[in-house]
Structures are given as structure tokens and as C-alpha cells.
Amino acid sequence: MTSLVAISNLCKSFPGVRALHNARLEIAAGEVHAVMGENGAGKSTLMKILAGVYQKDSGEISIDGQAVDITGPRAAQALGIGIIHQELNLMGHLSVAQNIFIGREPLGRLGMFIDTGKMARDTREIFERLHLNLEPYTLVRDLTVARQQMVEIARALSLDSRVLIMDEPTAALNDAEIDDLFRIIGQLKRQGVGIVYISHKMDELKRISDRVTVMRDGQYIGTVPTATTSMDTIIGMMVGRTLLDDERPPASEQGQEIALEVRGLNRGRTIRNVSFSVRKGEILGFAGLMGAGRTEVARAVFGADKKDSGEIRVHGRRVDVRSPADAVKQGIGYLSEDRKHFGLATGMDVQTNIVLATLRRFLSHGFILKPAAMQVAATKLIAQLGIKTTGTQQKVALLSGGNQQKIVIAKWLVRDCEILFFDEPTRGIDVGAKSEIYKLLNALAAQGRAIVMISSELPEVLRLSHRIVVMCEGRITGELAARDATQEKIMRLATQREAPAVAFNAGAAAAAF
Amino acid sequence: MTPNLTIMNVSRVLQGVKTAAFTSNARQKLLAFASLLGLLLFFSMASPSFMQTDNMVGILQATAVNGVLAIACTFVIITSGIDLSVGTLMTFCAVMAGVVLTYWGLPFYLGVLAAIFFGALSGFISGVLIAKLKIPPFIATLGMMLMLKGLSLVITHSKPIYFNDTPEFPLIAQDSLIGYFLPELPIPNAVLILFVLAVVSSLILNKTVLGTYTFALGSNEEAVRLSGVNVDRWKIIVYTLSGAICGIAGLLIASRLNSAQPSLGQGYELDAIAAVVIGGTSLSGGAGTILGTIIGAFIMSVLTNGLRIMSVAQEWQTVVTGLIIIAAVYADILRKPK
């Protein structure tokens, strides 16, 4: 394999942080090269330098053996480097074709007006090459996230990119969409495009990558072939030690009182006759494929969505939950999967975020805030949860994903919620921080709280849950005790469709994509 | 093969038409247009003098200045910016035309150029403040608004400049080119200029790179930057264009009054922004049309004119205008899927 891009001794500092120190990366034509590392390891910084978003402080980048200087996004494009950012960078109000040709619109008449016809034709040509069924005139905001991502890929390809950087491309995709993405990646590979693939999902990397480069603390750790290296070795390289992943949850405390019981919950076709219960001190895992209705169940129990029917009992007493405010009164908390949108005011400091939902408790005379009391409460929780922050006044936006998640948890702990729903608690969090969140969940359960954990990562469900409920298409298809559960059993239940007709429809929908 | 291709092309064109017709913009325009027709119907039934040619021409005339300013604002608002300086900039441009023509006695065309040039210059400065110095548009143009107002008063010593030495000047707005050809339709040039400007602006917005970037900036500025587009430069260009259009508004108002009134101007920016918003352009950027803006400007002047004809007190006219703005935006929110 000839090396298409070679990066060596790359250094980059931001005020107060050394983001990259002698980073290295080599990408061959026609390979999928995974870059792994915990959050803050410098992966994104390295990619942004390659894509011209940031400028390097020192070091060499060469393409085809020629040293190059990447001065900006446009220079990177000219060198054949395309990037698909983690947060999709599209203009929703513009059409698919306009998005693809932004910055290099073909001009027609008088050299003034955009040749929309040519733009649409060229767009169709790119889609045909990718075997994608997309209309150039559709507005991007009317597309699903998966299709928006395809638009980004098409844009990168229309620039004749020889190197394509993908930063967590599957974060928002369902399984069928991921298959489609992988099909396109395979196709690009055969055309000789070098692909840099950043992801936290180990199983994906096993599936598509040829080599893995691991980074830690801004430094190059090593490059290994994926096929012959075990995941434990790679994780070990990432965290600097080998993880012992054989922890199993202790036996469920059967004698404990039932904290929450849900009976006959229904909501349209998304939730169909769902019943379950969770005891004090128990972690109940909710497994299933994307779209199985797990989040919907949590939201309906929490009162965030209206339910058609169903009964909720807290500590054996029937309660009426019509809004999140009702749920909180009953001691039910819900930690959403999208922390930034629903969970945190990232522009504000740690302390304010922790007490934000319970400000009423920190008032004197009914309306004057007591900062001292707020600080005491915040400091206590920072210590209790092991939140890594410079202090109570640190801006939340500056913390890592794992620490942000802990602040969301802290927020609910201040409210004394006895029943907590965790929706994908470790999404977007690096391996090291994950195990800390796991410890925290175990500790919360040990204190007697009832925990419902929704997760799409099977190893996580298996490792933490005392009991596992599996959902498929809005129904509960089975329940497994921790000691009997295996990934295979869960997957069988998660794909247990109701009738062939449904399966056929789902298949048709996937084909239409 | 050939007939097949033709059928495909036709279906593609139809598809394009379909997507265009069902975008929220189109629906908003339809709603705004229906409201305008409703108002016209209501006032023509309420008062027999409303539909008379003189009154109609009056409404057209009254819309011209606000319409031109609203077009200037439309560009800026689509980028998710705002321009509070359009009203006093209009006056400043009128004053500069007066300086060139009356104070210095230079030829007519230089006065016209001066108004447009100083409009563009002021827009350029606003653009630099916003794009390069990163001053929020609201603050940058608020500052520009006050500076321009002050400068107009300083230059003129707070006294109007009359265009008595330039007999051509009042003709810019008041003469009727259409009237020469169609004597029964004495539509003043100001209205003609408004419509020509609207067509040109619409072409710029929908057919040129500048237009595409105007929408793109309002939709997702960071994405445009990462696409390798020089975001700052295009933002400055948008504000410069908007300023130049304010220069045209300055010519229109000075020509109609045959004088540059330095104390005039403040408050026009709010009428212009109101017209843009009623016309369905989103204050959060990324969406909007010139046609909508023009309809919005007409809704405002029909309302003012109709209420006056119905002898509604001036104070109440203002109250109704405020209500209409809130209702228009609320109607927009209602239609949007949650």
C-alpha cells in the first residue's frame, strides 16, 4: 500500500491546553483507517488540522510524498481532503444541489446567474455513482439525518476527494442506514479513496476498518491491523491499561419493595401494551434496536408525551402523571439521551446547572438566592460523583462529555428522585469515563434507588442490569434475568417481529431508502 | 429513447414546480396575498372613495419608500442579521444628494450617484463592523443609525436642503413614465422604481451566487465557512448592497418632498422590518422572498390608507398596525409543524 497522506510530529496548542504533541498518522489509498482515543485524545483536532479548520503549530503533512501546507478549508479541498463533521454542516434552508455546490456554483448566462440545470445534472450524476435515490431540488431540512449525511458524502465526493474523513458518522443512524453507509464506504474504498473513520463503537470498527491508529493525550500510541488485534488490546492502548471487563452485576435483591410499576401502557403504534416493574436497588435494562420504542416508554412514563392508556404505580400507590412536573413530584427523573439540548445550560457554570431545577430550595424570603447554600450543595455533589472540574464556577461547556453527563445526574440527585430513567447514559462518552458512569449507576442502585437504563450497547446492558427487558416494535418481547442473558438471546428477542406482513413492510421501507 | 427522455424531463420539471409550490415560503406568500386581497375588499366595501384611481395611486406612492427600504432589510434579515440604520441612512443619502446638487451645484447625475454611493459606503461600514469586528448586527446598526442621524443634522445645520436649482430632481419620483404611454394610468416613477428594484433583487436572491450565500449565511453560517467560502466578504457585500438600496430610497423620498429633511428617517426602519416580517421572511434567517416583502409593504400602506379613509384616529391606526404584525407572525408559527 502506498501512503496517500503522511502526518508526522504534528503539534498544536490552544490557550492552556496542549491538544497535539508529535501526532502521527498514515493513510493509504483504498483503506479504511480508524482513529481511536478517549474524548480529548486529540482525534478531532488532528482531523480539523487536516481539513484546514485549524492551523498546525509545527510538524509535517505530506500528500503523495509531497510536503503540503493546508491554509484553510478551501486549500484542503484543493488537495483532495474532504471531511464530514460530527455535527452535520449543511444549510437546511437550501436544496440538496445548492448544498453540494456551495462555494463553487457553476455560472451560466452572462457569467452572473447560477446554472441551476447543470448543478442539478451534476448532483444527479454523483447520486447515481453512489446508487442513491435523492432529488437535487429537495430542501435539506426535509431529509432524515441519514440522508443529510449522504448529502455530505456526495459533497465531499464532488470535490474529487481522495481522502475522506468521517467523524462519528453513525451516531444518529439506525441499523439499515448504517448498512447503507458501509456499502458506500466499501464502494469508495474500491475506487481508491482513503477513509479516516472516527468512532467509539468497537463493533463497527471491527466490521469496516483495515487499520487502527490509537491516540492518547494528544500523542500517537500506535497503529495496528484491525483483523489480527483484539479489542481488549486496542482499549488497553487507549486507556493505557487493560480493562477487566468481566464484572457482573450482583444478584438482584428480590426482597426489595417494588418502586415503580407500569401496567398496560399504550401510545399509538409506538408503545403497545407495555408492562414492567422495577424494585428499589435494582437496575432494569431496556434493550432493543433503535426505534423499538424504549425512549417513548420512558417519555410516556415521565409525562413528557401523552399516553393513550396505562397505569403507573409508585410504591404501590396509583399516581396520575400528566406532565414532567407531575413525574418529578412522584420522585421520577428522566435523563434524556440528548444532554446538550434537553439536559444542560452549557453556557452557565457547574453550580448553577446542578441547582437549576431546584432553585426554590435555595431561596431566602422566598425570592433571594442563597449562593452559599447553592455552593455547598454543588460542592457536595461534585465530590460525591467525582466530577472533574476546576470548581463550581467552571462553565459546563468546557467539561468533557462524561463530566457533563455527571452534572445531569447531579441535577436529578438534588431533587431526591427515587426512580431514575437513564436514556443512553454513555452515548458519546469515552471508554474511561464510561466505566465511571457505570460505577455511579451501581452506587445509586446500592443506595436503594430504582434505575431503568435504556441502552443500545449490548455489552453495557449485560454488564449493568440486574434484569433485562427487550422491546421490538413497541412491544415487550421478553424479559431475561442477568445470569441467563447473552447478546444472542437479546438480539433474538429484539428482532422478534410480530408478523411477516410487518417484516415485509419494514423491508420495503428499507429498500425505498 | 427520445420520447422517454422528454417525459422524464417533463416529470422532473413538474417535480421542481411541485417542490417550489409547496415550500413554506410559497404558502406564507399565499397567506399574505390573501390578507392583502381581504383588506382591499373590506375597505372598498367600507368606503366608496377607497377604490378610486387617485386613492390607489396614493397608496402605491406611499408604499414606494417603505417598499424599497423593506427590500434592503430583506437581504440582511435573510442572513439572520438586522439593519436598524436603514431609516436614518435613507435621510443621510438624501442629504448627501442635496449637498452635491444644492450646496455644490454639481450636475444632476452626480447627485444620484452620491446618494447611492454614500448608501453603499455606510452599508459597507456596517458590514465590516459586523463581519470583521464581530459586533452584533443589532448593536452595530443601532450605532450607525444614531451616527447617521447626527451627521445629517450636523451637515445641514438642522435645516432642510431644497432642490430648487435642479428641476429634474423632483421628477425622479413624481413624474410618470407609464403615464406618457398610458395616460389613464398615471403611476408615479417611484412605484415603477420599486417594482424594477423588486424584480432585480428577486433575480439576485434566487439566481446568483450572492443570493445563494445570503440564504446560506442565514441557514448555517458555520457550514458555509467550513465549505471554504469567505463568509466575512459575502456578509459585507450583503450589507453594502442593502445600503445602496437605502440610497435609492433616499432619492425617492427627497424627490417626492423636493427637499432633504434631516430630521426625518427614524422610525422608518421599524416599518420596513414590519413589512419584511409580515411578508413571511424569518427573523431567524435562511428563508424569505422579495415578493412577500412587497406584499407586506402593501398590507401596511393599505391598512394606513384605509383606516384613514374610514376616519379612524391616527393613534388607533398605530394600534391596529401593531396588532397586524403580531397576528402575521403568529399565523406563521401556527402553520409550522411542531
B8 contacts chain A (CB < 8 A): no
**pLDDT per residue over B117-166, tens digit each?**
999 999 999 999 999 999 999 999 999 999 999 999 999 999 999 998 88
B71 or A508: which leads in pLDDT: B71
Q: Which of A52, A94, A114 sits opposite B209 (nearest CB)?
A: A114
Provide Rg for chain B, Cα atoms.
21
User: What is the predicted ipTM?
Assistant: 0.75
What proportion of chain A, given as a percentage, has pLDDT over 70?
Answer: 89
Among chain B residues, CA nearest to A155: B227
Determine, for residues A92 and B216 on separate chains, whether the beta-carbon distance falls below 8 Å: no
Residue B1 lies inside a defined structural domain of this protein = no
Q: pLDDT band for position A88 (50/70/90)?
A: confident
pLDDT of residue B211: 92
Gap from B241 CA to chain A (nearest CA, Å)? 16
**Per-residue DSSP letter, B69:** H
Q: Which of B291, B333, B336 is nearest to B74 (CA)?
A: B291
pLDDT of residue B19: 42
pLDDT of residue B10: 44
Determine, for residues B220 and A72 on separate chains, whether the beta-carbon distance falls below 8 Å: no
Q: pLDDT band for position A15 (50/70/90)?
A: low
Per CB distance under 8 Å, which residues of A are interface residues toward B?
51-53, 72-74, 76-77, 83, 85, 89-94, 98, 102-103, 105, 107, 112-114, 116, 135, 137-139
B209 contacts chain A (CB < 8 A): yes
Cβ atoms of residues A474 and A293 within 8 Å = yes
Residue with cell 427522455: B5
Separation between Cα atoms, residue B157 and residue A201, nearest integer Å:
72
Instruction: Inform me whether the pLDDT recorded for A314 exceeds 90.
Output: yes
Determine, for residues A103 and B19 on separate chains, whether the beta-carbon distance falls below 8 Å: no
Q: Which of A313-317, A401-405, B195-199, B214-218 has the lowest mean pLDDT?
A: A401-405
Residue B116 lies inside a defined structural domain of this protein = yes
Instruction: Inform me whether the pLDDT recorded for B22 exceeds 60.
Output: no
Q: Pairing mode, if any, of strands A194-198 and A163-167?
A: parallel
Residue A44 lies inside a defined structural domain of this protein = yes
Q: Which residues of A touch B208 (CB under 8 A)?
A: 112-114
Instruction: Inform me whether the pLDDT recorded for A507 exceeds 70.
Output: no
Residue B77 lies inside a defined structural domain of this protein = yes
**Per-residue DSSP letter, A456:** S
Judgement on whether residues A142 and A273 belong to the same structural domain of the protein: no
Gap from A300 CA to chain B (nearest CA, Å)? 18
Judgement on whether residues A264 and A199 belong to the same structural domain of the protein: no
Among chain A residues, CA nearest to B16: A137
pLDDT of residue B17: 41
Output the average pLDDT for chain B. Answer: 87
Judgement on whether residues A112 and A201 belong to the same structural domain of the protein: yes
Q: pLDDT band for position B21 (50/70/90)?
A: very low
Judgement on whether residues A60 and A193 belong to the same structural domain of the protein: yes
Compute the C-alpha angle A307/A310/A314, nearest 5°. 105
Residue with cell 488497553: A236
Q: How many domains does chain B have?
A: 1
pLDDT of residue A459: 77
Gap from A464 CA to chain B (nearest CA, Å)? 36
Determine, for residues A93 and B286 on separate chains, whether the beta-carbon distance falls below 8 Å: yes
Judgement on whether residues A207 and A287 belong to the same structural domain of the protein: no
Cβ atoms of residues A45 and A54 within 8 Å = yes
Q: Which of A377-381, A397-401, B130-134, B199-203 has the lowest mean pLDDT?
A: A397-401
Among chain A residues, CA nearest to B223: A89
B204 contacts chain A (CB < 8 A): no
Q: pLDDT band for position B25 (50/70/90)?
A: low
Gap from B11 CA to chain A (nearest CA, Å)? 12
Q: Which residues of A touch B14 (CB under 8 A)?
A: none
A345 or B216: which leads in pLDDT: B216
Separation between Cα atoms, residue A154 and residue A168, nearest integer Å:
17
Provide Rg for chain A, Cα atoms.
25
B23 contacts chain A (CB < 8 A): yes
Would you state the cell numbers that stand for residue A84, as one nine-digit string? 464530514
Instruction: Inform me whether the pLDDT recorded for A13 exceeds 90.
Output: no
Residue A248 lies inside a defined structural domain of this protein = no
Q: B252 lies in which domain range?
A: 25-335
Q: pLDDT band for position B12 (50/70/90)?
A: very low
Among chain B residues, CA nearest to A115: B207
Supply the CATH number for residue B312's domain: 1.10.3470
B96 contacts chain A (CB < 8 A): no
Residue A326 φ then ψ, to 5° = -60, -45
Q: At what angle do helices B53-78 and B268-278 cross, to 10 degrees?
A: 80
Judgement on whether residues A189 and A234 belong to the same structural domain of the protein: yes
Among chain A residues, CA nearest to B214: A94
Cβ atoms of residues A413 and A407 within 8 Å = no
Residue B10 lies inside a defined structural domain of this protein = no
Would you state the cell numbers that stand for residue B60, as one nine-digit string? 402605491
Q: Which of B23, B212, B226 sits opposite A89 (nearest CB)?
A: B226
Which residue out of B217, B227, B281 would a mutagenesis test of the A interface target, given it has the greatest number of A Cβ atoms within 10 Å? B227
Residue with cell 485524545: A41
Supply the CATH number for residue A465's domain: 3.40.50.300
The DSSP-derived string for A176-223 is HHHHHHHHHHHHHHHTT-EEEEE-S-HHHHHHH-SEEEEEETTEEEEE
Instruction: Inform me whether the pLDDT recorded for B115 exceeds 90.
Output: yes
Burial call A423-439: b when 16+ CB within 10 Å, e when fewer: bbbbbbbbbbbbbbbbe
Judgement on whether residues A235 and A268 belong to the same structural domain of the protein: no
Residue B188 lies inside a defined structural domain of this protein = yes
Beta bridge mates, A467: A284, A481
User: Cβ contacts of residue A138 below 8 Å, gap of 6+?
Assistant: A95, A96, B19
Residue B264 lies inside a defined structural domain of this protein = yes
Residue B96 lies inside a defined structural domain of this protein = yes
Helix (H) or strand (E) holding A474: none
Output the average pLDDT for chain A. Answer: 83
Residue A250 lies inside a defined structural domain of this protein = no
Q: A118 lies in which domain range?
A: 3-239
B15 contacts chain A (CB < 8 A): yes
pLDDT of residue A178: 84
Instruction: Inform me whether the pLDDT recorded for A2 exceeds 70.
Output: no
What proportion of chain B, given as a percentage, has pLDDT over 90?
Answer: 57
Q: Which of A52, A72, A90 sits opposite B223 (nearest CB)?
A: A90
Q: Which of B207, B228, B287 sits opposite A103 (nearest CB)?
A: B228
Q: Pairing mode, if any, of strands A32-36 and A194-198?
A: parallel
Gap from B274 CA to chain A (nearest CA, Å)? 22
Separation between Cα atoms, residue B224 and residue A199, nearest integer Å:
25
Residue B48 lies inside a defined structural domain of this protein = yes
pLDDT of residue A17: 67
Q: How many domains does chain A have?
A: 2
Gap from B227 CA to chain A (nearest CA, Å)? 7
Judgement on whether residues A266 and A299 belong to the same structural domain of the protein: yes
